[in-house]
Amino acid sequence: MTAVDFGPEGDRGIVTILPPVAGKPYTHFVPVVDRDGNELSGIRLPDLTVPLATYLGWNLRHPDNGAPEQLMSLMGSTIPFSATRKEREARGDPRPSIAERYPSKTDYLAQVRRAAHALVENGYLLAEDLDLVVDQASERYELLRQGVPETLPAKG
């Protein structure tokens, strides 16, 4: 994306140069990410510190919607980790699988609880929400540990 010059009064909505003159490109800033592709900045919730997936704040448009080179605004993506090492290797995914990261669901939930408790101690999470965070993590674990199919069944 570049800055454009519509003339000396362009900032007031008065266009005197058409087509506009393209200026220097804008600088694009992107966040620093961890080895899983999750952003490092901001308050890192257990979903990011004890992850089951890569979470993105953007989403590509499907070609059927038109403009596939553009992003869908206000829609993020979740790219689940493979359930097992075998599945990960078959897909060529460099991110460790859920089974490689967490020996058991109990271990995973203990890590989530510790991460959530640290947020409570630092004032970023209410103590009464701690169990809710762990319960929701448990549900996501069950869903994602089963594995996500390569393609979803067609609606119809």
What is the distance, to the nearest Å, from the Cα of residue 35 to the centroid of all Cα atoms in its chain?
13
Spatial CB neighbours of 11, under 8 Å, sequence gap ≥ 6: none
Helix or strand or coil: residue 53? Answer: strand
What does the pLDDT average to over 66-74? 72
Give the count of beta carbons closer than 10 Å to the beta carbon of residue 88. 19
- pLDDT of amino acid 75: 77
pLDDT > 70? residue 154: no
- pLDDT of amino acid 118: 98
pLDDT > 80? residue 141: yes
pLDDT > 70? residue 74: no
What does the pLDDT average to over 64-90? 84
Give the count of beta carbons closer than 10 Å to the beta carbon of residue 46. 22
- pLDDT of amino acid 52: 97
pTM listed for this prediction: 0.73
What does the pLDDT average to over 133-144? 95
Domain boundaries, the chain: 1-30, 33-145
Structure tokens at 42: 């901001």
CB 113 within 8 A of CB 134: yes
Q: How far apart are CA 121 and CA 131, in angstroms?
A: 15
pLDDT > 80? residue 149: no
- pLDDT of amino acid 36: 96
